[in-house]
Each structure stands twice: as structure tokens, then as C-alpha cells.
Amino acid sequence: MIIITGGAGFIGSALVAHLNEAGRRDILIVDALRNGEKWKNLVGKKYLDFVHKERFLTDLEDGLFPEVECIVHLGACSSTTEIDADYLMENNFHYTKRLCDWALWNDVRFIYASSAATYGAGEQGYSDADALTPLLRPLNMYGYSKQLMDEYVLRNDLQNKVVGLKFFNVFGPNEYHKGDMCSVVFKAYHQILQSGKVQLFKSRKPEYADGGQMRDFVYVKDCVAMMAWLIQHPEVNGIFNMGTGTARTWVDLVNAVFAAMERPPQIEFIDLPQHLQGKYQYYTQAEMAKFSGTGCPLQFRSLEDAVKDYVQQHLMQPVSYY
């Protein structure tokens, strides 16, 4: 059995869909659905059972789930603007650590989600080399909560026993429930439908043009394909970046959305909100040599191909989830 925490969420439900396509049905989904629309991500999925995240750890430790092959821990607060530090400490760090300890004690493969937010403003670059990890300085509490788990793994010499994935700017189907944390692809598509134009932040640094801020944008379908490969290869462990290795501008991104919708680009630049000033990343680009060295044969698709697939095969369809 494969346990996927956050299995009704964005990346988690896409992983379930990918595993289903590969013939896997022996999946236990852990999540908290509450009053939102996230439940729609489970429609059509094949899995053994659903367990609420607040009872899952107790049930797991009480031995209710025998014969676990792998735990993929994607369940966490993913809001980079969350300011409740106690909540993030408990939900993102302590919960992950407890799951990791159980998996190691029971000889179960453990894969968890870290984040590119750990790199902060990029003062140390974007290398996932173990020696650089303790030097990173995240810009927000979300990034710090992920950094704590990475440091826990390294401090206890677990990097050869577990997998941590530093996700960069992931976009794709099944993210609609994330509200303000939805990708710019999702937001741009709906802005274009409503007004024919897209709003992007102005730059506050002279070395970057408006809309010239750069990110490593990565498609969720590519991410979950590589995660499925990691499930099948327990000999591969470590903390890895999960990005394309190629930074692109916000203008490139929204131009790809306009192209996928077959509309002429129209971009309006707006001021960076006060609450993001000093916490905004102007450049991210994953160094992917470490992951490439694992022997994984899979490749990330281009930004244009990924955006086209997302827009035309999902956002423009009556049923947009994957």
C-alpha cells in the first residue's frame, strides 16, 4: 500500500491520478477536506480509503495500516503568506518529523515535500548540495518550516534513507482550490477570460524589467511522474530540487497562456503589494545535476508545451481536474 498525505490536494491528487494510470489502486489518501472544493480532486480516483489527517498518525502508530510500501508526505500548509508560526511549526515540521521517524523505524520508504522557499532570496544560490542546506535563510515562515525538516534529515544522517523534494513553482490541474496560492497560469487564464489582459507585478529592482522577474516553472504532471519513479527506486535517496533547471520570466509565462488561448498578449503592470516587499523572490532556478545523477530517464517538458497542455486539456475543458 502507498500512503499519500495531502492526497486530495494539488500535487497529491495528481500523483494519485498518475499512479491510477499506471494500474495502482492500493492507495490510502490522508487529508482534511473541510468545506472547500478540494473533494472534487478525488472524483474518479481509485483508492482504498480516505483517512482524516488528525486521526491518521494515531491510527498509523497503533498499527492499523499493515504492509505499507511507501509514504509520500505532501500534506502541509502551503501558504507562503501564513503568519501563524506555531501552526506551521506543528503542521509542517513536527508532523513530518513524526511520520519520518515512523517510516524509518518500520522500514518504509519515505518521500516528503520540501520547497524552493527554503532558498530565500537566493544569496547561497539554488544548489541542493547537502553542505549548503544549513546556510539557507528563508524569507517567510513557510520556507523556514520546510528548512527545519531538511536540516533534521541532514543532522541525523538520514539523507541516504529518505527523499526530500524541493518543489519550485509548480503549476497544473487540480490547483483550483488553492485560492490566492493558485499559480499565475491559473490566474492569468481567468483574467484573460474576464478582461482580455493579465496583471503582473512591477519590478522594484533596476536589474529586472517589469515582468522580467524569473522563476523555475515546473509542470505538476512532470513532477508526479518523477515521484512515481522514485517510489519504484528505493535505492535512490537524498534531498533534491524539483524544477526544470531553466528560469523563465513572468512575461514568458503569461505569453504562453495567451498563445494557448490563441489571443494577443495584453499585460498591465501593477505595484508589488506592501506585504510582499522584502519577501519577494526575483529569481529562482533549480540546479538539477544532483537529481540528474540518480539515473532517472524522465525529462521536464518546455514551459510552452506544459502551459499549452494545462490550458487546452484542462482549463478550457468542462471538467478541468486531472
pLDDT in tens, 32-48: 998 888 999 999 999 99
- Mean pLDDT of the chain, nearest integer: 93
Say if residue 73's pLDDT is above 80: yes
C-alpha cell at 13: 491528487
Banded pLDDT at 81 (limits 50, 70, 90): low
Q: What is the pLDDT of residue 97?
A: 94
Q: What is the pLDDT of residue 108?
A: 97
Block residue for cell numbers 517538458: 301
Residue 310 CA to residue 320 CA, distance in Å, equals: 9
Residue 322 CA to residue 308 CA, distance in Å, equals: 15
Average of pLDDT values for 307-311?
A: 98
The pTM (predicted TM-score) of the whole model is 0.94
Say if residue 311's pLDDT is above 90: yes
Q: Are 211 and 269 in contact (CB under 8 A)?
A: yes
Residue 208 CA to residue 211 CA, distance in Å, equals: 8
Say if residue 127's pLDDT is above 90: yes
How many alpha carbons lie under 13 Å from residue 103 in its C-beta half-sphere?
25
Looking at per-residue pLDDT, the higher value among 162 and 93 belongs to 162
Say if residue 318's pLDDT is above 90: no
Q: What is the pLDDT of residue 280?
A: 77
Ramachandran quadrant class, 3 (left: phi over 0; alpha: psi -120 to 50; beta: rest): beta
Q: What is the pLDDT of residue 80?
A: 65
Say if residue 141's pLDDT is above 70: yes
Looking at per-residue pLDDT, the higher value among 164 and 281 belongs to 164
Best mean pLDDT range from 6-15, 27-36, 279-288: 6-15
What is the radius of gyration, based on Cα positions, of the chain? 19
Average of pLDDT values for 217-240?
A: 98
Average of pLDDT values for 147-163?
A: 96
Longest dimension (CA), the chain: 58
Residue 27 CA to residue 29 CA, distance in Å, equals: 6
Residue 232 CA to residue 227 CA, distance in Å, equals: 9
Banded pLDDT at 286 (limits 50, 70, 90): very high
Q: What is the pLDDT of residue 119?
A: 94
Neighbour count for residue 66 (Cβ, 10 Å)? 7
Q: What is the pLDDT of residue 78?
A: 64
* Residues that are catalytic: 142, 178
Q: What is the pLDDT of residue 33?
A: 92
Residues for the chain: how many in total?
322
Angle between helices 184-195 and 250-260 (to 10 degrees): 50
Closest CA relative to residue 210, chosen from 268, 264, 285, 257: 268
Strand intervals (E) in the chain = 2-5, 27-31, 49-52, 70-73, 109-115, 163-167, 169-171, 198-201, 214-215, 217-219, 238-242, 248-249, 267-270
Look up residue 180 and give its amino acid: D
Q: Topology of domain 2-171+217-245+285-301, per CATH?
A: Rossmann fold (3.40.50)
Average of pLDDT values for 253-272?
A: 96
Banded pLDDT at 307 (limits 50, 70, 90): very high
3-state secondary structure of 42: helix
Q: What is the pLDDT of residue 39?
A: 93
Banded pLDDT at 282 (limits 50, 70, 90): confident
Average of pLDDT values for 209-214?
A: 94
pLDDT above 90 coverage of the chain, percent: 81
Average of pLDDT values for 276-299?
A: 90
Look up residue 291 and give its amino acid: F
